[in-house]
C-alpha cells in the first residue's frame, strides 16, 4: 500500500509507470512475502530521481531527518505505522528516548525531532529527548517556530541501561547517525532496544553495499515484472586502486586519481550504452561519492572524464573512500524549481514525503537536508474535484515512488542482515 | 493510536475525558498487550453515546456497513490497516472476494461495498464482489452516484472452495451478517480464509454475551484508570421468564411480559441509583432490545415500567429473545440534530467514523444504518488555524471514542474466542 499523494507529475503516464500501476497487486504481494522473511529497518527516507525513462533510489538514510517537512495531513499514517512498529518490537513499551545528533545547525533539525516526538507520543508513548554529547550537562528548552518548544536533556548511563533523570525507556530511537563512530555510551545496552542498531550507523555502513543489495533486488523485481532492472536502479562502480598505498601522498593520490578516472570512464560507458539501447538523447553523467556520510564532502557530477583529472573537488575527495554512481536526471519541476522526491517510511509503511527543491544549476549535486533546504510537502491527492467513488480508478501517481522507496528499504534490510555482528547468534 | 478527528465537542473537557487523555500512554500499552493475547475481529463498527458524565459503546457490528459515510481523507488509514490485516492473515493473498448481503435496499449499501472494494484494492489486492443469493444467476453492473459502478457476480462453489468465474480468492470477506442462518455454501471452506468467521454471524451471536464481555473489560480498564467502570459501559439485564413456555401463546406472553417488566424495573432502579450517586438530574431510561440483529424489530426506550405493560411495541417484541440495556443520553449535537458517533475499526486500528444524525424525537430508539440515514463524516482535525507544531498539545477530543470503540472491539474478540466452535482445535 502506497498512500495516494499528489505528485508534480502532470504529463501522460509513461510505459514504466503504467507497468508498475498494472502490476500493483503482484508488487504488493511480493513486498508482503519479503517482509515475512526480512525485518524492515525501523525508519528510512529515500531520495528518488525520476528521469521519466527510469526511476531510481539514489540515497537511503537509516537515520531520517526532515520529518517536519512532511505534509501535516499525512501525520496519522506515520502515527499508525509507529504504533505497528512499537507493537512488534516492544509492546510493553511506556517510554521512548530519542537520541539527538551531537551537533546540528539551525532550528529545522529540532523541528524535525519535535515532529518525531509528536508521532510517537500520538502512538501512545511517553517520549523525551536526550543528548549523548558530553558537553551537554543541563536540561535546556529550545523554542521552535510558532511558539512550540522542545526540551533536551543529558542522558544518564547506568551499568546496563541508558535513560534520563526519572525516565527509564524500553526503546531508544537514534536520530544520531553515528558518523563519528560508535560512542561507548551506546554500547552494551543488553536490556533496551536500540533503533536503528549500531551497525546501521555511518561508522560501519558503506553505500556500495546498499547499492549492491538494491541492484540484486531490482533484478528480482524486474524479472517478476518482465522489465530491465536498469529502469529501477542506478548503476555504480567501485574505485579500485591497483597499487598499494604508501607514505608518499602524491604518488598515492596519482594512483587514486587514475583509479577514479577508470571507474568514471567505465560507468559512463555503461550508461552511454544503456542510453543508446533506449534511444535516450541526453548526455550521461555520473556522481562521485564518498562511501560514508559525515565526511563533510558532497558528491559531485562528472559528464566528461577529461575534465576530472585536474579538478580541485576531485583532489579533495581523494582522501576518502570513493565510488561512482550513475546520475539520473530529474524530470520533475515544481514551479521553476527542480523537484526531487524524498519518501519517508516507518516500519514497512510509506508514510509520506516531500519534494526537495533547488535550481537547475544545483541539480548535479547530491544535496543533503540543510536548514535552508526548500521543500514542498506531498499531500494527499484528494479534493472536491475528485468524484467520491472514482478514487480506485484515478491512478496513484505516487505509487511508483512508493515502490522504489520500499525497494531501497528492503535493500537496507538485506544490507543490515549481512552486516549484523550478532547475526550468528540469531541463526 | 487514535487518529485526531474533529468531533462536535466544543465545551470544556470534563473529568472523564481528561482522565482518558492523561492516561493515554497507559491505555495504549494496555491495548497493545491485550492484542498480543487476543486476535482482533477483522473489522468492526461501534455505536457510541456520549452523555458527558458517561461514555458507552451501545452496539458493535462485526459486519460493518456504512464505509461510504467515512470522511474521504481518512481513507489512507483504512488502507494501511487493511494492509496490516492482510499481511497477518494471508500474506500470499492476491484475490479478495467480498460476499454481499442477500437483500439490501437503496444504493447506499452498494456505495459502501464499493468503498470496501476500493480500500482493499488500494491495499494491493484484486477485489471482486460475489452474491450467494441463489436468485442471482448473472453478472450485473450497478451504477452508483457520481458515475461510478460496481459489478456483482454469482458465486461458484467447488468441493472445497468458493469463488467467481475465473477468480479464486485466498480470502473471503463477509459483508453478509448471516442473520438468516449460515448458508451451506459458506460451510466447509477448509482452504480459504473466511472473515469474519461463521460464528460471528447473527445466527450465533448474542448481544448480551458481547455486553458481558465488554463489562468485564470495562471493569479491568476502570481498575487500571482508578475509575468506576459504569462510566465507560452500559448496564444491561437479561429477561428471564420463570415459567416454561407452553403452547398457549397468551399465557406465555403474560409470563414474558412480567419477566420483561421485572428486568426493566431492576435495571431502571440500578441506573437511578447511579444517577443519584453522581448527582445526575436526568430521567433514566432503558432500551428493550432483541438478542439478535435481523429480526426486523428495532429496540425502543422505556422511562417508566408502568407504561410498558400495555405497549403494542412491547407486545410485538415478545416473540423474540429480549434483554434490557441502559440507555445513555446523547449530549452531542451537529446543528439542530442529535449526533451519535459511530467508530470504524479495521484490524486493531481505529480508521475513521461519522456522526449519525437524527431529530431529538428519534433519539430514544436504536436506529440502524438505513439508506436515508443522515450522517456527518468525522474528518481529521487540522487546518490552517492549527499551528504546525502544537498538535501534540492540542487535545485529541476523538481519543475517548477511540478508547471505547476499541474496548468494544476487544470485547468482541473475547466473545468470539468463547463462542468459537473450533476453539478446541486451536488449543
Question: How far away is chain B from the Cα of A368, in angstroms, using its nearest Cα?
Answer: 23
Per-residue pLDDT of chain B (427 residues; tens, 9 = 90+): 788 888 888 888 999 999 999 999 999 999 999 999 999 999 999 999 999 999 999 999 999 999 999 998 899 999 999 999 999 999 999 999 999 999 887 788 999 999 999 999 999 999 999 999 998 899 999 988 777 889 999 999 999 999 999 999 999 999 999 998 999 999 999 889 999 999 999 989 999 999 999 999 999 999 999 999 999 999 999 998 766 555 555 555 777 888 999 999 999 999 999 999 999 999 999 999 999 988 777 788 899 998 887 777 777 777 788 999 999 999 899 988 899 999 999 999 999 999 999 876 555 555 555 555 789 999 888 643 344 444 446 789 999 999 999 999 999 999 999 999 887 654 4
**How far apart, in Å, do the first and last CA atoms of chain A sit?**
31
Strand partners, A56: A49
User: How many beta-carbon contacts under 8 Å exist across A and B?
Assistant: 162
Number of C-beta neighbours around residue A283 at 10 A: 13
Q: Determine the pLDDT at residue B11.
A: 84
Q: Determine the pLDDT at residue B282.
A: 92
Rg (CA), chain B: 22
Q: Determine the pLDDT at residue A4.
A: 86
Contact A32 B126 (CB under 8 A): no
Q: Determine the pLDDT at residue B252.
A: 59
- Residue B372 DSSP SS3: coil
A170-189 confidence digits (pLDDT tens): 999 999 999 989 999 999 99
Q: Determine the pLDDT at residue B312.
A: 74
- Residue B251 DSSP SS3: helix
Question: How far away is chain B from the Cα of A149, in angstroms, using its nearest Cα?
Answer: 9
Q: Which of A96, A124, A167, A352 should we substitute to test contact with B (largest number of B Cβ atoms within 10 Å)? A: A124
CB B239 within 8 A of CB B259: yes
Question: How far away is chain B from the Cα of A249, in angstroms, using its nearest Cα?
Answer: 51
Q: Which residue has the higher pLDDT, B414 or A255?
A: B414
Residues of B in contact with A1 (CB under 8 A): 79-80, 82-83, 122-124
- Distance (Å, whole) CA A363 – CA A301: 9
Structure pTM? 0.91
Contact A80 B118 (CB under 8 A): no
- Give the HSE-up count for residue B220: Cα atoms under 13 Å, Cβ half-sphere: 13
- Which of A83, A147, A387 is nearest residue B387 as measured by Cβ atoms? A147
Contact A388 B1 (CB under 8 A): no
Contact A91 B1 (CB under 8 A): no
Where residue A242 falls among pLDDT bands split at 50, 70, 90? low
- Distance (Å, whole) CA A109 – CA A121: 18
CB B395 within 8 A of CB B7: no
Q: Determine the pLDDT at residue A187.
A: 93
Q: Determine the pLDDT at residue A308.
A: 85
- Residue B383 DSSP SS3: coil
A71-87 confidence digits (pLDDT tens): 988 999 999 999 999 99
Q: Determine the pLDDT at residue A362.
A: 58
Determine the average pLDDT of the residues in A329-350. 93
DSSP B125: -
Exposure b/e, A314-327, CB count within 10 A at least 16 = b: beebbebbbbbbbb
Helix/strand/coil (H/E/C) assignment for every residue in chain A: CCCCECCCCCCCCCHHHHHHHHCHHHHHHHHHHHHHHCCCCCEEEEEEEECCCCEEEEEEECCCCCHHHCCHHHHHHHHHHHHHHHHHHCCCCCEEEEECCCCCCCCHHHHHHHHHHHHHHHCCCEEEEEECCCCCCCCEEEECHHHCEEEEEECEECCCCEEECCECCCEEEECCCCCCCCCHHHCCCCCCEEECCHHHCCCCCCHHHHHHHHHHHHHHHHHHHCCCHHHHCCCEEECCCCCCCCCCHHHHHHHHHHHHHHHHHHHHHHHHHHHHHCCCCCCCCEEEEECCCCCCCCCEEECCHHHCCCCHHHHHHCCCCEEEEECCCCCCEECCEEEEEEEEEECCEEEEEEEEEECHHHHHCCCCCCCCCEEEECCECCCCCCCCCCCCCCCCCCHHHHHHHHHHHHHHHHHHHHHCCCHHHHC
- Distance (Å, whole) CA A263 – CA A101: 34
Rg (CA), chain A: 22
% pLDDT > 70, chain A: 91
CB B55 within 8 A of CB B49: yes
Q: Which among B114, B13, B140, B20 has a CA at the least distance from the CA of B403?
A: B20
What are the residues whose beta carbons fall under 8 Å from the beta carbon of B410, sequence distance 6 or more?
A: B31, B34, B35, B38, B40, B217
Helix axes B108-122, B75-89, angle to 10 degrees: 60
Q: Which among A65, A71, A131, A58 has a CA at the least distance from the CA of A324?
A: A58
Q: Which among A105, A16, A125 has a CA at the least distance from the CA of A65?
A: A105
Residues of B in contact with A84 (CB under 8 A): 84
Amino acid at each position: 500500500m502506497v498512500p495516494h499523494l499528489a505528485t508534480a507529475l502532470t504529463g501522460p503516464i509513461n510505459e514504466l509507470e503504467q507497468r508498475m500501476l498494472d502490476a500493483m497487486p503482484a508488487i504488493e504481494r511480493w513486498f508482503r512475502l519479503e517482509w515475512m522473511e526480512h525485518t524492515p529497518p525501523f525508519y528510512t527516507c529515500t531520495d528518488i530521481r525520476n528521469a521519466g525513462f527510469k526511476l531510481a533510489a539514489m540515497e537511503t538514510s537509516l537515520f531520517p531527518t526532515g520529518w517536519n517537512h512532511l505534509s501535516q495531513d499525512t501525520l496519522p499514517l506515520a502515527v499508525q505505522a509507529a504504533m505497528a512498529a512499537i507493537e512488534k518490537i516492544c509492546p510493553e513499551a511506556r517510554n521512548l528516548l530519542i537520541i539527538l545528533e551531537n551537533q546540528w545547525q539551525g532550528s529545522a533539525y529540532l523541528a524535525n525531532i519535535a515532529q518525531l516526538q509528536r508521532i510517537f507520543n500520538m502512538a501512545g508513548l511517553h517520549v523525551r529527548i536526550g543528548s549523548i554529547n558530553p558537553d551537554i550537562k543541563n536540561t535546556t528548552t529550545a523554542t521552535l517556530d510558532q511558539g512550540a518548544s522542545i526540551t533536551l536533556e543529558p542522558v544518564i548511563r547506568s551499568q546496563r541501561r541508558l535513560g534520563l533523570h526519572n525516565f527509564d525507556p524500553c526503546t531508544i530511537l537514534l536520530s544520531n547517525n553515528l558518523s563519528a563512530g560508535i560512542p561507548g555510551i551506546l554500547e552494551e545496552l543488553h536490556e533496551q532496544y536500540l533503533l536503528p542498531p549500531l551497525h546501521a550507523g555511518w561508522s560501519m555502513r558503506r553505500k556500495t553495499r546498499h547499492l549492491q543489495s538494491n541492484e540484486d533486488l531490482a533484478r528480482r523485481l524486474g524479472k517478476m515484472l518482465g522489465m530491465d532492472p536498469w529502469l529501477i536502479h542506478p548503476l555504480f562502480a567501485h574505485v579500485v586502486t591497483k597499487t598499494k598505498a604508501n607514505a608518499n601522498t602524491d604518488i598515492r593520490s596519482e594512483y587514486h586519481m587514475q583509479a577514479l578516472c577508470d571507474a568514471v570512464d567505465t560507468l559512463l560507458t555503461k550508461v552511454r550504452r544503456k542510453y543508446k539501447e533506449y534511444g535516450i538523447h541526453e548526455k550521461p553523467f555520473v556522481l562521485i561519492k564518498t562511501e560514508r556520510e559525515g565526511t563533510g564532502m558532497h558528491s559531485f557530477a562528472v559528464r566528461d572524464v577529461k575534465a576530472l583529472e585536474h579538478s580541485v573537488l576531485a583532489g579533495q575527495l581523494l582522501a576518502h573512500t570513493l565510488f561512482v554512481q550513475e546520475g539520473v536526471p530529474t524530470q520533475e519541476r515544481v514551479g521553476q524549481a527542480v523537484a526531487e522526491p524524498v519518501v519517508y517510511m516507518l516500519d514497512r509503511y510509506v508514510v509520506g514525503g516531500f519534494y526537495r527543491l533547488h535550481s537547475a544549476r544545483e541539480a548535479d549535486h547530491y544535496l543533503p537536508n540543510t536548514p535552508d533546504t526548500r521543500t514542498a510537502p506531498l499531500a494527499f491527492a484528494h479534493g472536491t474535484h475528485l468524484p467520491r467513488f472514482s478514487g480506485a480508478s484515478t491512478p496513484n501517481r505516487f505509487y511508483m515512488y512508493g515502490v522504489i522507496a520500499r525497494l531501497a528499504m528492503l535493500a537496507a534490510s538485506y544490507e543490515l542482515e549481512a552486516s549484523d555482528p550478532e547475526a550468528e547468534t540469531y541463526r
